Every structure is written in C-alpha cells, then in structure tokens.
Amino acid sequence: MQTIPVGVGDRVFVLTGAGISAESGLPTFRAEDGLWAGNRIEDVCTPEAWELNPGLVWQFYSARRAAGAAAQPNPAHFALAELEGRIGDRFFLCTQNVDDLHERAGSRRLVHMHGELNKAHCEDDCGRPPVEDHALYQDLAEVGHCACGARLRPHIVFFGEIPLEMERLEREIKRATLMVVVGTSGSVYPAASFVHWARRNRARTVYIGPEPPLNAEAFTQVVEGKAGAVMPGLFAVE
C-alpha cells in the first residue's frame, strides 16, 4: 500500500475538488452524467446568467443545497480532518467545493475558494459579509434582500469572477512543503495552477484520484483510486 510521508518539518497544503464528494453521492461537474452535462454553465453560473434569469440560478443552487444537505462526509473527508488533528497549523485546506462536507467531517483550517452553498451575498457587492442561507427557493419572489436593498445572490464564485481569499491562498502555498490535490480535473484556473506554484517552491506534489487530471505531469506522486477508498491510513505522520 502506498503512503504519503508527512515529516515533522512539513507544511501541508491540500486542494480538493468535486471528486472528494463523489462517494458522498454528490455529482462531479465534468463526468458524462455530471452537473455540466445536465446544465449549461452560461445559464446558471455566470454574471450574465444572474442578470438574465436570477430565478433559474437560484433554482439550480437550491437543488444543490438540497443534495448537499442530504449527503454525508465520506472516509476521504474524515482522513483530512484526522491529518489536521495530528499536525495542527501545519495543515491548510483549500476546497473548490461549495458543499460543507469538510466542515462536517471536522476540518477547521479551510477556505472555500469558489464560495459556499449555504450562504448568500449582496448582488451589488455593497461590502456587507455573506449571510447564512439554507432556503430552497423555487420562486424569485421568495429570495431575501441585503440591508442595502439589493437582492441576495448565491455565495458562489461564478465563471469570470475572482476566487475568494487568493492572497491568503498564495501565502499558504508559498509556505507548503507538500501539496496534496484530491479529485479535481485540473481544468479550472487558478486552482489548476496551484500545483505549479508549489513546484516552484520545490514542494512535493501528490495527486489522489481514479484518473489522471489534465495537469498530471506536475505531480511527483500519483495515488490512483477513489479518494474514500485510498485515503484512510494514507498519511504516514512522523
């Protein structure tokens, strides 16, 4: 069985994608039966889609809220929470996922770079922080408003928008000696560049997933398999 050694001097930066939640029953994006097979990105996940048909956008994210609430963390989420429990602030997790399965497994030091399903924010970006919002909207008339009067939109980074907390992520990647990437196809930037940034700092880079991602050549180790099957017991912490 392969292991990933984690030494006393290591700082670990983990990047996860939709694949880590696949065994929890949540569809990925680019699989044949994935979310982008049944929905057009330009209808539900761009600033233009929001301008044109906010009701449809809310329906799409309401359905994903319902699926997320019904899902449970799987052994891969728990393996990362356990690693964090062992190495503390030498661990940092960045997820592209908008579900809350990492938190529900016990992860604490994490950033959702593409937003969070269970939050909403002001469509005018008035500066107020995002608010908790678990509602399932079928009709735009049900959607609440920000204190400034503008409508609330899903707290999701649409295509063409800048991911969240990029400065913090860049800082954490610079400090990392080991980058572990789980279940992401390497097709969306800037997340797909993180492995190259880590390599520039001579970090070891490991990919975990059932098939090679588009940026496979940048990894120094590949652990082939489904995350929930291969991650328990994978980290050999010194």
Interacting residue ranges for ligand APR, rule: CB under 6 A: 17-20, 22-23, 28-31, 34, 96, 114, 183-185, 187-188, 209-211, 213, 226-227
Which uninterrupted H or E stretch holds 237? strand 235-237
| Nearer residue to ligand APR within complex by CB, 75 or 146 | 75
Number of other CB atoms surrounding residue 109 within 10 Å: 14
CB of 13 to ligand APR, least distance (A): 16
Q: 36's torsion region: left (phi>0), alpha (psi -120 to 50) or beta?
A: alpha
Q: Which of 102, 114, 121, 155 is catalytic?
A: 114
Q: 115's torsion region: left (phi>0), alpha (psi -120 to 50) or beta?
A: left
Distance of CA 36 to the CA centre of its chain: 16
CB of 148 to ligand APR, least distance (A): 27
| Nearer residue to ligand APR within complex by CB, 22 or 198 | 22
CB of 175 to ligand APR, least distance (A): 23
CB of 60 to ligand APR, least distance (A): 12
Burial class (CB in 10 A: 0-12, 13-18, 19+), 59: middle
**134 close to 85: Cβ distance less than 8 angstroms:** no
Distance of CA 183 to the CA centre of its chain: 10
- Does residue 114 have an active-site annotation? yes
Distance of CA 3 to the CA centre of its chain: 24
The DSSP-derived string for 195-209 is HHHHHHTT-EEEEEE
CB of 152 to ligand APR, least distance (A): 20
Catalytic residue set: 114
